[in-house]
Structure 1
Amino acid sequence: MSDTATPMMAQYLDLKAGYPDAILFYRMGDFYEMFFDDAVQAAAALDIALTKRGKHLGEDIAMCGVPVHSAEGYLLTLIRKGFRVAVCEQMEDPAEAKKRGSKSVVKRDVVRLVTPGTLTEDTLLDARRHNFLAAIAQVRDATALAWVDISTGALRVMACSAVGLGPELARLAPREVLVADGTEAEFCDAVTENGASLTSLGRAAFDSTQGEKRLCALFGVGSLDAFGTFSRAEVAALAGMVEYLEITQKGNLPLLRPPVQENRDAIMQIDAATRRSLELTHAMGGGRSGSLLDAIDRTVTAAGARLLERRLSSPSRRLDVITARQEAVAALVDNPALTGDLRDMLRGVHDLDRALSRLALDRGGPRDLAAIRNTIGQALRLHQTLTAVDLPDTLVRVQNDLVGHDTLLALLEAALVAEPPLLARDGGFIAIGYDEALDDARKLRDEGRGVIAQMQADFIAQTGINALKIKHNNVLGYFIETTSTHAERMQAPPLSDTFIHRQTTANQVRFTTVELNEIESRILNAGGEALEIEKRLYASLSQAVLASHAALGQLARALAEIDLAAALAHLARQEAWVRPVIDDSRAFLVTGGRHPVVEEALRRTGTPFVANDCDLTETPIWLLTGPNMAGKSTYLRQNALIAVLAQMGAFVPVTAARIGIVSQIFSRVGASDDLARGRSTFMVEMVETAAILNQADDRALVILDEIGRGTATYDGLSIAWATLEHLHDVNRCRALFATHYHEMSSLSAKLAGVDNATVSVKEWDGDVIFLHEVRKGTADRSYGVQVARLAGLPAAVVARAKVVLDALEKGEREGGAARRAVIDDLPLFAAIPPTPPPASRTSAVEDRLRDVLPDDLTPKDALSLVYELRGLLKG
């Protein structure tokens, strides 16, 4: 008989059939085992041994396994490599299965489907980042996007055009995106471009009519109108997401907050290419290091860090919102002592949102309860500190959300020990004196001998027999033993009513009592009883916490707001940033602007950053010229980053700034290809430029660098020329346009809204020195050959390039047939004799020093030599 015919393997195959696209973690004692193709894939992905277990259809059954106690690390590896994992647990004690017969199999079932967007454990998540699951739904011609972080409960939805999906997914960076069956191809590019995993669901999951009923039942309301007016597409997106959560969590839904409707028009629009170019939250090379987020993050709590990333990814377009955020930061900038105190206290705050989520999903433990207790207590201290000072309205509102949890705090303080264990099954987390039954059970468990000794003393006093002993063996358990002489008295009334004869030996007689039997039973079961009582109390405390989840969620948001405001204030004082003026005009005036990331990097080397001005108020387009390596790209990006920081409500790295609300930021800086889609560098450049010209409105800020450089000179020049004219005449936006096509500088005389600017350089002894200063005017040359020499090109190549450049410039000046003649007469590189190295030249000072023997000089001779050398220098 093959092994697959055994009841256990039959059970495995039955469970696996329900999850064909996932790796099944099949619990067997202290291990999760995997079989067949699952084992082959998992062993390769996890780098663990692949073994075998029996045969199936004549072939070995592949098998591998991971220990239960360290399974989370293996789970994370599989999820990061694109797998989904179905976790199958034992639903009963194996001893219960044995009672049913030798061939009975332990009951097992899948308790959870682990996917990239449904992680909740701290070990699987980055505490300082959201882990979003998103869903896209279409109802007729309408499209909507919903997203949730089940580790925090944040649930949001937005009506969104199909074109706008890409930018929104780039903003949210979800780990997993849900779509209806049959629409995968339509959304694949937008999803995978942003690094998300694409998951399809049956179309019924996105049914808006049934979905509305499901959502109303979930949130306990009669109508979703209690939360806003949602379109059918928005309801469908929310419904699909909830359906998926029910599938993956096996009906044990996370603690979701009511859905919040977002409006795209209230947020600065930044597409995926621009986010990559500006390196807002991730650097070009991947990872957070080197990004703007990494440079400005001074938050001390996980929730504050997540809020910072949300604000940075979604700068506001509402003047009242920006102003309120600025006022909160300004109040703390002006009070550094208060800021320091708040930051010190916030370091004692825990991640309430994720603790609540774990408790709701029954994946939490006593430490989550303690974290909530400690955070409530710390919030009270924060409230007292803030009460002592005058605050702007924003901080007053969050200050009020810090209190109101006295009853829950008193309960948790009374119930929990100071430092509880991680897991409820470990016990020992309920404080002494909280529950009388638990205290009694613990006393019996820990002080059983003392209880028996006290009972023995009571029996001696009752009988007057000092030789009476209470003993224990594995056959009788606890028993009372005395000599045969004394036994006669215990077997006579009235003592015989209490003492029950158990056994007679050669010299001793053994008795028991009802009370002793009860104590024995309680002592033997005291450990288990104590643990069961603690588990019941844990469940009770968890329910008490979850009953207050709405208020605790408000507290979590208040703590994050305080942390972010204090962090931005600390940053502003630390880096000498100032509050920008934000208004509804089209102004863009920056004085002494700096790039925060580059400035931080230069500081490590002791190099000062050269600040520059930018004024797009009267002439909204600057045409920027200057050589490579002079700092054009840095200048372009820093002005875009200043706008982002200003509209997220932060202070900015400038001497002064006035910025009219920016609706969109577009960046086309840098060059890269897209081989997967068959796009050359130039094609990518043109696609991104087209997106800018088709979408930018008159409130947009556009930064463009080297448009048209990926093709022939005149093709590129014509494209760059036409692009600038379109920005000026059609888009009518604010723009910084960097180029090497000096011919375009003539446009400033033709277009009223265009001005010329250049990055200054200085030539010295054949070298080019970058001054990194932006001033009005036009560069007269590109200095490309000099930059090539600085980059380390061979001297022969640099010399040849100078010859070719001189010839081309001469031909350009002479024009017509003469131009062609100059180029045709240019000798081939191989025909040019190698240039001999320049003869070494020495100065008179060097010649004089070669004749000097320092050891032979007297002090007077040395002084005379110094005067002599000084005279030679003057000569």
Structure 2
Amino acid sequence: MNKKMKSAHCSIEKKDHDEMAGSARSKFEWLNSFAIRDANKRRPNDPLYDKSTLFIPPDALRKMSTSQKQYWNIKCKYMDVVLFFKVGKFYELYELDAEIGQKELDWKMTVSGVGKCRQVGISESGIDDAVDKLIARGYKVGRIEQMESANQAKARGVHSVIERKLVHVSTPSTAVDNIGTDAVHLLALKEVTLASSGFQVFGFAFLDYAALKIWVGSVQDDDSSAALGALLMQVSPRELIYETSGISKETQRTIRKYASAGSVKMQLTPLSGIDFSDAAQIRNLIHSKGFFNASTESWLSALDCTMNQDVVICALGGLIGHLTRLMLHDALKNGEVLPYHVYKTCLRMDGQTLVNLEIFSNNFNGGSSGTLYKHLNHCVTASGKRMLRRWICHPLKDIDAINKRLDVVEGFIQNCGLGPTTLGYLQKIPDLERLLGQVRSTVGLSSLLQLPFIGEKIIKKRIKTFIMLINGLRNGIDLLNDLQRADHGILALYKIVDIPSLSYLPELIHKFEERMQNEFPCGQVSDVNANGANDLAALMDVFIGKASEWSLVINAVSTIDVLRSFAAMTLSSFGAMCRPQVLLKDDVPVLRMKGLWHPYAFAGNANSLVPNDLTLGQDLSGLNRFALLLTGPNMGGKSTIMRATCLAVVLAQVCIIFAYACLFMIFFKCITDVSFSLQLGCYVPCTSCELTLADSIFTRLGATDRIMTGESTFLVECTETASVLQKATVDSLVLLDELGRGTSTFDGYAIAYAVFRHLVERVRCRQLFATHYHSLTKEFASHPHVSLQVMRAKIAGNFKSSEQRAEFSTLHEEWLRAALAVSAMDGQPDDDDVMDTLFCIQQELKSHFRKAR
């Protein structure tokens, strides 16, 4: 009976809902899919259709009540935003937004509200939670607030409607709360093609709203889009805004490619070309509106550090237009503008290399497990974690800077009490970088009281933020004082970071602590009136006047955290770690490593370590073999040791990547990882390591197509290889894995031969070239600059038996039938017929080739 009643009740509800939806569709037919148009009357099938706007027929608008007009006059300009409309003590969503509220928040839909339309809603006590949930699911959310009470409206006239305004729009790319420790970036991109060379120039500007920082710069790119890929992988934007008709199809394909390869899901937002208008107009706009006046460095100084300034300003204009629409005026008034360089003065790694080496996200599920960042990240502070990511993106090319970092890491390792002491301080420090950004946005605090109902709430939140910042800075200054007073053996720290004078900072921070303690004992914030808000605003203005000193303290604390993290990684290692010796460049580049191993390809089992020795360049006997031609069975470890070498170089110049499923990759990975490690300023997984600095790392690894961008496996391989051939120099480190496998055997061999010969005889760079073309090894067996190596494997057990599968392990001596053992391990059917057939065919082929010889 109960089930029947419940079923009947559900049927009634569904019928009512359908009738409600039908009534609304007839009333708001200009919202229906068959009739909807943007503000310029364009339909969705028009390439220039603007989904953020809506055309409302004038007749329909005239028939609306005053409150309806109030809502739809705003909504028609923000169709891409879920708009909450404040009515008394409730926030309501209407029509299309109501559908979202019903779907995402499970709210019951009714017909009422503004003009008897479909609506859902929630009381004002639950609005913050609702907004956070929608933002977490990728929606932009705005709030239309009441600017006066009902009595105040009546005082203006009997028929007056309560004044309301859209005061703020929150988006996934500008969220401040509940966003984790990773930086959240909003990136604006402007593309221009150079008439002289045909190359593309990309101006960019990206915002970290939580920290109130804007970075600007430009990159020049070719058909490979490698530089744009590097920018997208480094910044990893949550949202990318671009000119609707100003981005080429090739750039769109690149954006789609890296949108799926990054560590966060990227939202793409096309904007009107008006926002990316003439550079001179944007300059005038910035000056006339007083944007970025609170920046510790002039925004013009930041631009002076960039190339292609007009293109950069156009990108900045796009960002300004977008932030203006979102009403994020604090970012425009108080944001700090800084220059950003994708490649300058650092080890160059293009976007594909960052993907291939799984620096920030793995190629399995896009997560951080099995990545270099995850392996290195022993940081405690949020700002330290973000600095670590920036360091990984920009490994050093300066020997003195590398050695200074290594000196500090060595000091942490040798002084066993220093790490725990430093850790104790760091654990007390909140996210100072973001707290400072939020306090910077509070300039003009008293003006918030002009926002009825919500202004005082915002002020109380900012005061609590200010108190947290002061207490956190106190702990940071105490840490710096402690390190400066005691002889901890890390004096090199003061050569790395610019630490402000600690003679007056403790006294200065104490004055702020004392004032806030008197005003708000134990951090309890009561009601704030206009006079109190003005006094606090003056105090915060004085505090912000010292923003450059506070930023130096935060930078110093973050640097200490990262270098302590490097030491913690070294001390927790399962195998041998050493300090790399960085050599001055002589006639030829050098990379010599002994006992090279992969720190986490063995899943924490130290017994499975397979150390390898590697020499690229001049060895101790005087031979200059800078190219390594590597062969061996699948699952033999070629790719893993190659990757490990690359990452070790980076670790030393600023350290190790997740192994592929098969051991075939192990050798390749080890080479890559260790190479990467070297240039970060880290210890590396070797017993000894010597190298001259690399200027760039190029990789061609794996065999994948890109269906979303219409690129076949072979096209992907050729594009990446062409980029290597065009840009590699004598100081580069190049990794090519099984080049030529994307096409026929003979064509593939021809490609592999031509590319390898060019790199050996023309470029003369350090390279590792893994191949299954055994003819290639014969061609270069006697070449004076090529070293031949074979990854070998041992097979124990009977690979033909369904009851006892073969065991496979890498060795330094040759064993036969490795490929068949791998096949048996890979889950072939239990029927012995398959493996028997494989074995017979193998024996016949071997016999045939022996007779042919």
Tell me the TM-score normalised to structure 1 length: 0.74
1:799 and 2:850 are equivalent in the alignment: no
Displacement of 1:562 in angstroms is 1.4
Displacement of 1:772 in angstroms is 3.0
**Which residue of the other structure, out of 371, 381, 405, is the alignment partner of 1:301?**
381
Displacement of 1:547 in angstroms is 3.0
Q: Distance in 1 between matches of 2:240 and 2:66?
A: 38
Q: Distance in 2 between matches of 1:249 and 1:358?
A: 16
Matches within 5 A, 1:8-87: 8-53=67-112, 61-66=117-122, 68-71=124-127, 74-79=130-135, 81-87=137-143
1:647 and 2:653 are equivalent in the alignment: yes
Q: Secondary structure at the match of 2:689?
A: strand
**Which residue of the other structure, out of 409, 422, 429, is the alignment partner of 2:525?**
429
Residue identity opposite 1:792 in structure 2: G
Matched with 1:602 is: 604
Q: Distance in 1 between matches of 2:104 and 2:155?
A: 39
Matched with 2:210 is: 151
Matched with 2:700 is: 668
How big is each residue's C-alpha offset from its partner over 1:669-725, in whole Å with a ceiling of 9 and x where there is no partner?
Answer: 222222222333333333333332333222221222222223333333332222322
Matches within 5 A, 1:120-159: 121-123=176-178, 125-136=179-190, 138=192, 142-159=201-218
Q: Distance in 1 between matches of 2:255 and 2:768?
A: 30
1:253 and 2:331 are equivalent in the alignment: yes
**Which residue of the other structure, out of 100, 103, 106, is the alignment partner of 2:162?**
106
Distance 1:803 1:34, change over 3 A: same
Matched with 2:171 is: 115
Distance 1:598 1:90, change over 3 A: farther
Matched with 2:614 is: 614
Distance 1:385 1:55, change over 3 A: closer
Displacement of 1:640 in angstroms is 1.1
Q: Distance in 1 between matches of 2:506 and 2:645?
A: 48
**Which residue of the other structure, out of 226, 238, 242, is the alignment partner of 1:179?**
242
Matched with 2:352 is: 273
Displacement of 1:137 in angstroms is 5.2
Displacement of 1:789 in angstroms is 0.9
How big is each residue's C-alpha offset from its partner over 1:197-235, in whole Å with a ceiling of 9 and x where there is no partner?
Answer: 333243454432233345564344888258735433233
Identity of counterpart residues, as a percentage? 27
Paired residues of 2:216 and 2:338 also in contact (CA < 8 A) = yes
Residue identity opposite 2:164 in structure 1: R
Matched with 2:7 is: none
Paired residues of 1:383 and 1:403 also in contact (CA < 8 A) = no
Q: Secondary structure at the match of 1:598?
A: coil
**Which residue of the other structure, out of 692, 716, 725, is the alignment partner of 1:684?**
716
Paired residues of 2:302 and 2:338 also in contact (CA < 8 A) = no
Q: Secondary structure at the match of 1:178?
A: strand
Displacement of 1:161 in angstroms is 0.7
**Which residue of the other structure, out of 464, 468, 474, is the alignment partner of 1:371?**
468
Distance 1:205 1:677, change over 3 A: closer
1:592 and 2:595 are equivalent in the alignment: yes
Matched with 2:500 is: 400
Q: Distance in 2 between matches of 1:705 and 1:236?
A: 41
Matches within 5 A, 1:454-603: 535-575=533-573, 577-585=577-585, 586-599=589-602, 601-603=603-605
Paired residues of 1:589 and 1:658 also in contact (CA < 8 A) = yes
Unaligned stretches of 5+ residues in structure 1 = 431-527, 817-875
Paired residues of 2:377 and 2:565 also in contact (CA < 8 A) = yes
Matched with 2:366 is: 286
Paired residues of 2:702 and 2:737 also in contact (CA < 8 A) = yes
1:234 and 2:312 are equivalent in the alignment: yes
Q: Distance in 2 between matches of 1:420 and 1:192?
A: 50
Residue identity opposite 1:696 in structure 2: A
Q: Distance in 2 between matches of 1:154 and 1:271?
A: 25
Paired residues of 1:402 and 1:555 also in contact (CA < 8 A) = no
Q: Secondary structure at the match of 2:344?
A: helix
**Which residue of the other structure, out of 640, 643, 651, is the alignment partner of 1:637?**
643
Matched with 2:283 is: 212
Displacement of 1:354 in angstroms is 0.8
Q: Distance in 1 between matches of 2:362 and 2:520?
A: 40
Moved more, 624-633 or 680-689: 680-689
Residue identity opposite 1:197 in structure 2: Q
Residue identity opposite 2:466 in structure 1: L
Paired residues of 1:332 and 1:339 also in contact (CA < 8 A) = yes
How big is each residue's C-alpha offset from its partner over 1:508-542, in whole Å with a ceiling of 9 and x where there is no partner?
Answer: xxxxxxxxxxxxxxxxxxxx6x7666555544443
Paired residues of 1:408 and 1:544 also in contact (CA < 8 A) = no
Paired residues of 1:588 and 1:616 also in contact (CA < 8 A) = yes
Q: Distance in 2 between matches of 1:568 and 1:322?
A: 13
Residue identity opposite 1:178 in structure 2: I
Residue identity opposite 2:314 in structure 1: A
Displacement of 1:610 in angstroms is 1.8
Displacement of 1:302 in angstroms is 0.2
Residue identity opposite 1:692 in structure 2: V
Q: Secondary structure at the match of 1:679?
A: coil
Paired residues of 2:113 and 2:119 also in contact (CA < 8 A) = no
**Which residue of the other structure, out of 176, 188, 213, is the alignment partner of 2:252?**
188
Displacement of 1:290 in angstroms is 2.1
Q: Distance in 1 between matches of 2:751 and 2:108?
A: 59
Q: Secondary structure at the match of 2:173?
A: coil
How big is each residue's C-alpha offset from its partner over 1:822-854, in whole Å with a ceiling of 9 and x where there is no partner?
Answer: xxxxxxxxxxxxxxxxxxxxxxxxxxxxxxxxx
Paired residues of 2:795 and 2:821 also in contact (CA < 8 A) = no
Residue identity opposite 2:177 in structure 1: D
Matched with 2:221 is: 162
Distance 1:421 1:111, change over 3 A: farther
Distance 1:428 1:222, change over 3 A: closer
Distance 1:769 1:238, change over 3 A: same
Distance 1:661 1:533, change over 3 A: same
Paired residues of 2:500 and 2:553 also in contact (CA < 8 A) = no
Paired residues of 1:43 and 1:64 also in contact (CA < 8 A) = yes
Q: RMSD between aligned alpha carbons?
A: 3.3
Distance 1:212 1:766, change over 3 A: same
Paired residues of 2:230 and 2:354 also in contact (CA < 8 A) = no
How big is each residue's C-alpha offset from its partner over 1:148-175, in whole Å with a ceiling of 9 and x where there is no partner?
Answer: 3122233333331133222222222122
Distance 1:80 1:678, change over 3 A: farther
Q: Distance in 1 between matches of 2:525 and 2:812?
A: 64
Moved more, 198-207 or 579-588: 198-207
Residue identity opposite 1:718 in structure 2: A
How big is each residue's C-alpha offset from its partner over 1:282-305, in whole Å with a ceiling of 9 and x where there is no partner?
Answer: 122112222111111111100000
Paired residues of 2:794 and 2:811 also in contact (CA < 8 A) = no
Paired residues of 2:228 and 2:351 also in contact (CA < 8 A) = no
Unaligned stretches of 5+ residues in structure 2 = 1-23, 29-62, 196-200, 260-265, 443-457, 618-623, 655-680, 800-805
Distance 1:250 1:761, change over 3 A: closer
1:202 and 2:273 are equivalent in the alignment: yes
Q: Distance in 2 between matches of 1:407 and 1:280?
A: 43
Paired residues of 1:304 and 1:564 also in contact (CA < 8 A) = yes
Q: Secondary structure at the match of 1:193?
A: helix
Residue identity opposite 2:577 in structure 1: W
1:224 and 2:294 are equivalent in the alignment: no
Distance 1:729 1:690, change over 3 A: same
Distance 1:49 1:738, change over 3 A: farther
Paired residues of 2:626 and 2:766 also in contact (CA < 8 A) = yes
Moved more, 681-690 or 67-76: 67-76
Q: Distance in 2 between matches of 1:404 and 1:274?
A: 46
Displacement of 1:183 in angstroms is 1.1
Q: Distance in 1 between matches of 2:719 and 2:305?
A: 36
